[in-house]
Structure 1
Amino acid sequence: MDNTVLELLEMADHATPAGPLTITQAHESMRVHRACSVDHCRRKALAFNTLVEAGRIVPDSSRRY
């Protein structure tokens, strides 16, 4: 991973990103926002949905992310 400081600061923000996330960015956002809930962190929610749409995550209906 070779992120610039600006990219790292943006990734740490909980707000919805300006544009869509790539698969790599979505994975990294999920790691950075591991402790966040998709109900309260818009970045993690977008990352989660991006990975679900890409077939990288299959949601468990009994689990809260």
Structure 2
Amino acid sequence: MQLTNLNMHVAELLICGRDPGIMTTEQAHAAMQLHIDCTVDRCRVRCRARTTLVEAGKYVLDERALPC
């Protein structure tokens, strides 16, 4: 399969060690589901997604939550 500009961003969401950059809330939600077994301290995608959702007011962190 050839990666196009359209699905290149999706492919980058699969790599835990690479920061995917700015995300929409929809992309962040999808990333959180893709990386459901990851932790924010080890997965840059999940960290970026969580930060995006928190900043958008779509996700509320527990006071005990660790920062990314």
Per-residue CA deviation, residues 21-42 of structure 1 (Å, 9 max, x unaligned), is 0110000000000000001101
Match of 1:23 in 2: 25
Shift of 1:63: 5.1
Q: How many residues align?
A: 60
> Percent identity over the alignment?
38
Task: List alignment gaps of at least 5 residues for structure 1.
Answer: none
Q: In 2, Cα distance between the equivalents of 1:13 and 1:55?
A: 25
User: Which amino acid is 1:43 matched to?
Assistant: V
Q: Give runs of ≥4 in structure 1 deviating > 6 Å.
A: none
1:38 maps to a residue whose letter is V
What's the RMSD between the two structures over aligned residues?
A: 1.8
